[in-house]
Structure 1
Amino acid sequence: MMNKRILTLIAFSALSASSFAGVVKDKTKEIVFKNTNCAATDSCDLVEFRVQSYDYHVIFADQSPSHGTSAFMSYTTKNIDDLENYAIVQQIKGCIFDSGQNYDGEVIKSSNYVRDLFGQSVDYKHTEWTIDSIDEDPMYNNSVPELRHGSYRWNTVKNSYAKDTEKVYAKERPTSPTLYVSDLPGTAFADNNEAKNISLQFNTCIYKTGKIPLVATPGDVNFSEPIACIPWKSSFIYNHAAKKFEAKNEIDSFCNQ
């Protein structure tokens, strides 16, 4: 099996090589929650919540492509002053893993990846739904307690997530009542019938900020009732027989072990 360090070096070399040809994006998937029943959740200053995601493929002239998913989670309130009343919490399930074939053709899978979760370095393998946060504050992409939304972003162009027109909430007050965060779970790629695979599901939820505790634990996914949740996924699992990546709706069985 190819170890994590070798796979990482291959990815780095590929991205920096002169053979880079471009990025191809699949069709964007978007789910929008309209807050039409706002009285039930006492959230009538929240207009909508949406998650937009797309798969992308980094193409090289003389190497196999890399595959990944990009997601943006945004919400809109009636007024700019209402923005801090709401915040996003994301749940994650699944794993990132390596796979390869031995001389008998048997596919061998191994978990060689780690991530930061609630202040600790853990295996990138979540067999149960887990709050997706690098620190003890379950709010996604939170900043300091005095300004938890400080790292949230807004854009000077309506309905855009472009970097060149993006602003950070802590540095500049928005001119319209929309904030967003983003996620880029990683890339999958194969080399010489060895592969890095991604099999992740996400459940991204919006809450009233006051109902999100400053400190939680990874498994405390029911700390409060969300206003709405939207699912999305990143799935690139290498089929060694067909020599291609496949997207699956279900999480790979290896991630549940």
Structure 2
Amino acid sequence: MNAKHALIAVLFLCGFVFSGCGSVAISVIKKPTAGKSDEAFIPERRADIPGNILKKKIQPYTHQAPEGPIIVFEGYSYVYLNKDCGRTDSCILRTLSLREEKYALPPTETDSTFYSTLGTVEWTAADGRKEDFRVVQFVRGRKWDTVERPDGTYARFVYWEEKEFVPMPVGYSFPVQVLPRSEKRDEQGNIIPAHVLILPSGSYIDQKAHYPGYKKGVAHNTAFQLKTCIYKAEYFSKKMTADEVTQLEPIACIEWSSGFVYDFTQQKMRQIGDMNSFLSHQ
């Protein structure tokens, strides 16, 4: 992602304040073979969601930024209703919301259109006691480059991969009238965010870049399965390792995904549908 794409992403984050949601997609995945590019085919979605979660589709829209239009082409919102609060002794918590918006940034002179997903998390609590809870974002998946050999076959170079869910840092956003309790911001949650912003890496093809011995053009692909969980804040009274965070019992989690693979045959990005199946068979 070059400087222009980074700037547009920042403008996109700063230009909107969301309440939350998320989405789950189901698709059939065609496993790539020698001589063909990575492919992911997407049939219709289905509503595989628990009874305590409300799902709503977001209408596509375009945000006009100085550098060009940012197109939100798909999105879903999830709202978790904490009806079974007695089980987790968390009846102060009312809702956990996650809004997932898949968007495209305009191309540059060297890069194709940039595809990624913005996740925004919000939660509500009785008596304004949001500080009694913390949100942790988990991710598993991979980032990889695909390049074309001179003979027309393709090679894959994986440069990040996690087979199991691991905690990831998140960004925080505050309303103007609220100041953080501490200037030290870390993923342990020692400040109370109004919103949690999650922006996984995106996918695009750099037409001018190349690996030695391969044709020009490097496709940057991403496949992330994400899990947004909310916990009692008392669990985070001390500095914790990633393994310790993973072992905590959440009140609730919302799963969603972000993944785009470049199809050299069609010369366009394809969205990954069933992320769990894709990661299991690739």
Decide: shared fold, TM above 0.5: yes
Alignment partners' CA distance in 1, 2:236 and 2:125: 18
Q: How many residues align?
A: 205
Residue among 68, 71, 76 paired with 2:119: 71
Matched, 1:205 2:229: yes
Seen in structure 2, the aligned counterparts of structure 1 residues 93 and 85 have a Cα distance that, compared at 3 Å, is: same
AA at the equivalent of 2:165: W
- Preserved CA contact (<8 Å) 2:140 2:165: yes
1:26 corresponds in structure 2 to 73
Residue among 167, 174, 181 paired with 1:131: 167
1:84 corresponds in structure 2 to 131
In the superposition, the TM-score normalised over structure 2's length comes to: 0.63
1:3 corresponds in structure 2 to none
In the superposition, the TM-score normalised over structure 1's length comes to: 0.68
Structure 1 residues 188-199: aligned runs within 5 Å: 188-192=203-207, 193-199=217-223
2:197 corresponds in structure 1 to 182
1:12 corresponds in structure 2 to 3
Matched, 1:232 2:279: no
**Which structure features the higher share of strand residues?**
1
Seen in structure 2, the aligned counterparts of structure 1 residues 232 and 153 have a Cα distance that, compared at 3 Å, is: same
What per-residue deviation string (whole Å, max 9, x for no partner) do you get for residues 23-65 of structure 1? 1112331111011121111111111001111011111476621
- Preserved CA contact (<8 Å) 1:76 1:179: no
- Preserved CA contact (<8 Å) 2:206 2:218: yes
What per-residue deviation string (whole Å, max 9, x for no partner) do you get for residues 64-123 of structure 1? 21111111111101122x1111001121101222111111222211134xxxxxxxxxxx
Alignment partners' CA distance in 2, 1:178 and 1:130: 21
Seen in structure 2, the aligned counterparts of structure 1 residues 77 and 197 have a Cα distance that, compared at 3 Å, is: same
Alignment partners' CA distance in 1, 2:241 and 2:161: 16
Residue among 25, 45, 62 paired with 2:92: 45
1:170 corresponds in structure 2 to 181
AA at the equivalent of 1:77: A
Deviation of 1:251 (Å): 5.6
Alignment partners' CA distance in 1, 2:275 and 2:136: 22
- Preserved CA contact (<8 Å) 2:116 2:202: yes
Deviation of 1:250 (Å): 2.2
AA at the equivalent of 2:166: T
**Structure 1 regions of 5+ residues with no counterpart?**
1-7, 113-123, 134-139, 142-151, 156-164, 172-176
Q: Secondary structure at the match of 2:194?
A: strand
Give aligned-pair identity as a percent. 23
Q: Secondary structure at the match of 1:39?
A: helix
2:157 corresponds in structure 1 to 110
